[in-house]
Copies of this chain bind each other. A is one copy, B any other.
């Protein structure tokens, strides 16, 4: 089940990109930032400055939350949230999904840097339900839901399920935290405002990179008094950057240039999944719940990786940098992320290309 990572040098030589916003080079990032009016704001120092105020204020307003706090990295922001809930409640158990980033992708950070212990609930291939949560009989400090659950194929709970979980947590006096790494990207699927979704949670994380295309950065939203308790943790885990202006300017750029297109990305992803269903091509593993979905290829991973490398080399076209084997013979998957670069190509055209790619991989 080890992924095959395609050679990055190949990507640098491509001129057509089907994936996400396409590659953003350091030069492009800087040129974009230099063209922003906010470039002439005083630089931030140690998490204070007019750019950070602007960013925090804009996101608080979008999410309808009293306050937000900037972090250079979500792993720090979300750990700070969990540590603060532990201090506040005296409890040290937190419920998460076994495939969530917190449980699966952060080198066991929260358990190695604190005495918090994770209770892993839910099946490997879908978000946990209220019933799963109610099966936990120990006192919880917090419950975390990741929107969407990337490692289960970008899947999210239904709106009703999400409301039920939030309501239950509130009733039990358990903090409910949303890992909204892809909240911007998921909002069009729910068809509710960002503020309606955010209102369900006591605290939530949103990302400045991924869909928003910044070089990095994150915000935690919630009550101002609660966010204040996160600040010492932010400092302890290296979040007191001397200056973070590239992340801050990048985030402001993303809110202005990418956020307004999230519904387009979702619609394009849905249309692509539909177009693929009419061809002898890979297929969307599930209902498309954001701008991204798992694409299942009925071919062995090394064969697909070889075909992708050939396409990049011979045609200058880049889509997937990673191919992941599936536990089914001659099947693998890739993650399809729709962004600005993808929008430049009709769903039918992409579907035809993927059909040809599958044929090439079959040899």
Q: What is A's interface to B at a CB cutoff of 8 Å? A: 8-9, 12, 24-27, 29-31, 33-34, 39-43, 45, 71-73, 75-76, 106-109, 112-114, 209, 215-216, 232, 235-246, 249
Contact = CB atoms under 8 A, between A and B. Distances in A.
A141 to B, nearest CB: 17
Contacts of A237: 75-76, 109, 113, 237-238
A109 B39 contact: no
Contacts of A43: 24-26, 29
A29 B42 CA distance: 12
A72 to B, nearest CB: 6
11 contacts: A8-B42, A9-B42, A26-B41, A27-B39, A72-B72, A76-B237, A106-B236, A113-B237, A215-B245, A215-B246, A216-B244
A55 to B, nearest CB: 14
A240 B76 CA distance: 11
Contacts of A215: 242-243, 245-246
Indicate how many identical chains form the complex.
Answer: 2
A252 to B, nearest CB: 12
Contact of A30 (B33, B236, B241): B33
Contacts of A113: 113-114, 236-237
B106 A75 contact: no
A109 B236 contact: yes
Contacts of A76: 237-238
Given A27-B40, A30-B33, A39-B26, A216 B243 contact: yes
B107 A235 contact: yes
Contact of A232 (B31, B107, B114, B242): B107
Nearest to A44: B26
A108 B83 CA distance: 15
B42 A240 contact: no
Given A9-B42, A31-B34, 13 more contacts: A12-B42, A25-B42, A27-B34, A29-B43, A30-B30, A71-B238, A72-B238, A73-B241, A109-B237, A113-B236, A209-B242, A216-B243, A238-B238
B30 A75 contact: no
